Copies of this chain bind each other. A is one copy, B any other.
Amino acid sequence: MRVSDRTVPTLRDVANAAEVSVGTASKVLSGASGVSAERARRVWDAARRMGYRRNGIAADLRRGRPTSIGLVLPDLTNPFFVDIARALETHALQHGYQLILAHAGEDPERETERIRFVMSRQVAGMIVIPCSGYQRAQHAIAEARECHVPLVMADRVDDTFPANTVTTNSRSASAEGTAHLIALGHKRIAFLVNTLKLVNSRERAEGYMDAMHNANLDTYVSVVECGMTAAQSHAATLKILSGSMRPTALFTGCNVTTLGALRAIRDADLRIPLDVSLLSFDDAPWMSVLRPYLTSIRQPVEAIGHAIWQLMLKLLSGQQDECVHLSFTAELLVRESTAHAPAETAVSG
């Protein structure tokens, strides 16, 4: 008989040791009232002495009212998602909910797996930022809906999705950013996007095209799909920069893409904004250390996180039946990485 066989003390063990019934012990340890001070003390003592740890799983199971919320994120490397997670966790904790974080790593299969896992944990609600658009996640999402689990989806979804959604108005923000570039005299503006399979990325690309079209610059439109990783974006940008008729401005569709593009610009030995202007959709902490400071489009992360949580609360309390679609406005932060387009002669030289 090994020492490790000594099983962890259960509620019954504590009750026995304190010489009270399990019912009484349960009341004391779950903080309910209606127990004499004397017996309550005995229970606490016994619990502490035996190193009792309440089995939250069993409690949830019995109560049938889970206390945790699942959050499935596509990529922890992206500060935007991390900020969302931080905001949500704070809100959840304040309302007595625990957040179960799951990480899909931009892998659709793993995402499905993670969603199923979270569901199997009997969460009270689920918040999902899908990793490959809802086309792929569709199946797992449908399962969640069938189980009547309150579901909020964010960021990489749009209003047509049959779930509660919280998004950023990517299209108009992107158009505004592009207009800013055009106003500076740029014509050859390339738009770098991770993948057009992602709804929000697609919207950003559309916003770019809207603005180009409005300025009669259709012939200059150049949307380049360059993959989900910084390494891929790096390679793609390198190719763009080395081609003839190099763009005078780059508009990167997200955080990660920006990172890769910057590496390429660095490798190509180009100066920002003298040789090429750069506008980034998505802000990130590290951008502030760059010289020049990057001009970027910032999504209102806190507001988005707050909205997601408020929506979830309503859903949890049953105050909300039909699907709601919330949209937020991103903000263009003009800083130092965008400047007037170089004169044509300078470019060709």
A136, CB-defined interface residue at 8 Å: no
Cα(A72)–Cα(B122), bound, Å: 21
Q: How far is the CB of A297 from chain B (nearest CB, A)?
A: 18
Q: Which of A13-21, A140-148, A181-189 contacts B (4 or more CB under 8 A)?
A: A140-148
Q: Are B148 and A117 in contact (CB under 8 A)?
A: no
Cα(A79)–Cα(B105), bound, Å: 14
Q: How far is the CB of A344 from chain B (nearest CB, A)?
A: 27
Q: Are A55 and B266 in contact (CB under 8 A)?
A: no
Q: How far is the CB of A125 from chain B (nearest CB, A)?
A: 14
Q: Which residues between 272 and 331 of chain A lie within 8 Å of chain B, taking CB atoms?
A: 284-286, 288-291, 293, 318
**Mask of A185-220 contacts with B, CB within 8 angstroms, 1/0:** 000000000000000000000000000000000000
Cα(A146)–Cα(B4), bound, Å: 11
Cα(A110)–Cα(B90), bound, Å: 10
Q: Which of A32-40, A94-102, A171-179, A241-249 contacts B (4 or more CB under 8 A)?
A: A94-102
Cα(A120)–Cα(B168), bound, Å: 37
A110 CB contact (under 8 Å) in B93, B103, B113, B286:
B93
B contact residues around A90 at 8 Å (CB): 105
B contact residues around A148 at 8 Å (CB): 4, 6, 8
Q: Are A113 and B101 in contact (CB under 8 A)?
A: no
B contact residues around A86 at 8 Å (CB): 76, 103, 105
Q: How far is the CB of A267 from chain B (nearest CB, A)?
A: 10
A349, CB-defined interface residue at 8 Å: no
Q: Are B56 and A120 in contact (CB under 8 A)?
A: yes
Q: Are B79 and A4 in contact (CB under 8 A)?
A: no
**Chain A interface (Cβ < 8 Å from any Cβ of B):** 4, 6, 8, 51, 53-58, 60-61, 76-77, 79, 82, 85-86, 89-90, 93, 98-103, 105, 110, 113, 117, 119-122, 143, 146-148, 230, 259, 262-263, 266, 284-286, 288-291, 293, 318
Q: Which 4 A-B pairs have the closest CB atoms?
A: A56-B120, A286-B286, A51-B146, A262-B289
CB<8 Å pairs between A and B, sample of 6 = A55-B122, A57-B60, A82-B82, A259-B285, A262-B289, A263-B288
